Amino acid sequence: MDIPERKLDYLFNQNIAPDSHNTPRAIQNAQQMQRLGLWDTPETREFVREYLQQVVQTSTNIIERFTRTFVDKNGIIGEVDIEVRESLLAGLSGKFAKVKSSWEVLPGGTRRFVSAEIYGGGT
């Protein structure tokens, strides 16, 4: 399983290239993480990494599967298989949030974390 550190940045709104899609979602994710009492520290990143590793241990939380076609920087067309999983994240504040995480299914069945959307009560 692959959970790139750069993808965790997105959950904490760190080092995000500003644009109309990524900026609002990264801000929303960071607000939800803070509501949960999960601040951007090395310990919290490890907590989130362990949580995400647990998410892919069961197939019953897969809510969608699809293939995405893309063109790489060399102009070559490729495809990637994606799973979307739904889970519940318990924060250190005692609050909970629904997490929809997307995972690339690699050859051999390994999963690579792509992104997540975090939903919950007020920030």
Residue ranges per structural domain of the chain: 5-119
With bands split at pLDDT 50, 70 and 90, how would you rate the model's confidence at 18? confident
With bands split at pLDDT 50, 70 and 90, how would you rate the model's confidence at 17? confident
With bands split at pLDDT 50, 70 and 90, how would you rate the model's confidence at 38? very high
The pLDDT of residue 20 is 87
Please state the rounded mean pLDDT for residues 89-115. Answer: 96
Asked whether residue 41 carries a pLDDT value surpassing 80, the answer given is yes
Contacts 24+ apart (CB under 8 A), 109-116: 110/1, 110/2, 111/1, 111/2, 111/56, 111/83, 112/1, 112/2, 112/3, 112/4, 113/1, 113/2, 113/3, 113/4, 113/7, 113/52, 114/7, 114/82, 115/7, 115/10, 116/10, 116/11, 116/29, 116/52
The pLDDT of residue 122 is 59
